[in-house]
Amino acid sequence: MSVMERNRLIQQYELFLTMILEDRQQVFPLPIRDVGTMMKRLSYVNRRSPRNKSVTGRGILKYFVSLTLRDRNVHSSVIGLTTDSLWKSATSHERAEYVIMSKDLNKRMMRFK
């Protein structure tokens, strides 16, 4: 990766992190609280071969960050860095909502295996 490309990614990260932090309601509290709806959004229902990998609270946050930035041409590493920063700056209550949802999703996914 060139220095110019790296600098561009850092600028994107800083811009998008600031944008989401200014309007935290995009990701906190958890935008979808219904496990069934979340399963459909994550495409687990009626899948021929459900994935074996479990879902994490941070992974769900990353999903919502990627939705927030979907209309922009954002590199996946920028989404990952933004998610990491949001996860680290989240309160324990904010994180708990995501962790509880991930546990509920993992229980429900076990039924499809």
The predicted structure's pLDDT at residue 49: 63
Q: What is the pLDDT of residues 34-89, one digit of tens each?
A: 998 998 888 765 566 655 678 999 999 999 999 999 888 899 999 999 999 999 99
Nearest 5°: phi and psi at 85? -65, -40
The predicted structure's pLDDT at residue 39: 86
User: Residue 108 above 90 pLDDT?
Assistant: no
Q: What is the pLDDT of residues 7-25, one digit of tens each?
A: 999 999 999 999 999 999 9
CA triple 55-17-32, angle to 5 deg? 40
**Listed residue (86, 44, 57) closest to 69, CA to CA:** 86
Judge contact between 12 and 78, C-beta under 8 A.
Answer: yes
| CA–CA separation, 66 and 64 (whole Å) | 5
| CA–CA separation, 83 and 81 (whole Å) | 5
pTM: 0.90
Count of domains forming the chain: 1
Q: What is the dihedral of CA 48, 50, 52, 53, to 10 degrees?
A: 140
Domain hosting 17: range is 3-112
| CA–CA separation, 113 and 107 (whole Å) | 11
